[in-house]
Structure 1
Amino acid sequence: MTFSFDSAAYGASAEALIGSADLCELGPGIQNRSATPALRALDDSLLFGGKSVSDRDMAASCISGLWLLHNFLDASHTISQDIHTTTGSYWHGIMHRREPDFSNAKYWFRRVGDHEIFPSLNAAAAEIARNSTTDDRSQFLTKQRAWDPFAFIDLCELATLGKTDETLPRSIAQLEWQMLFDFCYRQAIGAS
């Protein structure tokens, strides 16, 4: 099954915030200050459009992810560090990967373990890599049998240092954000 991301599936508030964001950065990026009022206004009621929230940690994870999407790393960090789940650790790890604090990102990904989105992410990343120009440093994406967040952190580090092209890792980081946000949103409202 191919993953398809439709920002309209997450309600008007999320759709507007997702639609106004650029492709995920590998580094800190420039904060999208025009999104600040909408991000500050987010709460469960606004984000989930009146749908009943059954998992508050997953709802908070969605909000953390939206702050991160708009390059507000500190705001995302403040939220994710208080989510004591594997998914909270995942958002926390992405934030540190983008700081960039690669060793700290690896610490948080060790806490993630084997996340539920990893199989789908691995398959989709391999497909993107097969349809992209890869070099020796990114070729592993086409061959790995399971998602390796540590190898991806290393690839992101190489890209931020200019040692490999950033196009492929940015595309995969975008896909990762979308898959993780989708997972969190569905879990927050108890949808499968």
Structure 2
Amino acid sequence: MALFDLTLYTPAIAELLREPRVPPLDAGEPNRDARVRLEALARDDAFAPHRICDRSMADACRAGLWLYHNFLDEAHEISQKL
């Protein structure tokens, strides 16, 4: 499995990618330990020190992180608004 260069991400996002995850073949179980950190991504400071220039792109990243941690409904809700 390829590893991410976590130094390329903001601290909030890098922390969510730190633990390598293998996606299940079915819906799987949400990683409940990540919920609070995922919810914090709704704030602009989750992308600090970078300024959000494209809100849709930031939301797509947020949806992908929710999906990475098996929160299918939350990822779907965000992505359907794009």
Distance 1:36 1:4, change over 3 A: closer
Alpha-carbon distance in structure 2 between the residues aligned to 1:4 and 1:20: 10
Deviations 1:34-68 (A, max 9, x none): 0011011112321x113111110000001001100
Please tell me whether residue 44 in structure 1 is matched to residue 44 in structure 2: yes
Q: Distance in 1 between matches of 2:37 and 2:51?
A: 21
Decide whether the 8 Å contact of 1:21 with 1:70 is kept in 2: no
Larger radius of gyration: 1
Match of 1:12 in 2: 11
CA distance in 2, matches of 1:40, 1:21: 20
Q: 1:4: how far off?
A: 7.3
Please report the TM-score for the alignment, with normalisation by the length of structure 2: 0.85
Determine the C-alpha separation between the residues in 2 that align with 1:59 and 1:82. 12
Q: Which residue of 2 aligns with 1:29?
A: 28
Letter in 2 for 1:76: A
- Structure 2 unaligned segments of length 5 or more: list them: none
Partner AA of 1:45 in structure 2: D
Whichever residue aligns with residue 37 of structure 2, its letter is A
Q: Which residue of 2 aligns with 1:119?
A: none
User: Larger % of helix: which?
Assistant: 1
The answer to whether the 8 A contact 1:21-1:69 is kept is no
On the 8 A contact 1:44/1:59 being kept in 2, the answer is no
- 1:141-168 Cα offsets, whole Å, 9 max, x none, are xxxxxxxxxxxxxxxxxxxxxxxxxxxx
- Aligned length in residues: 80
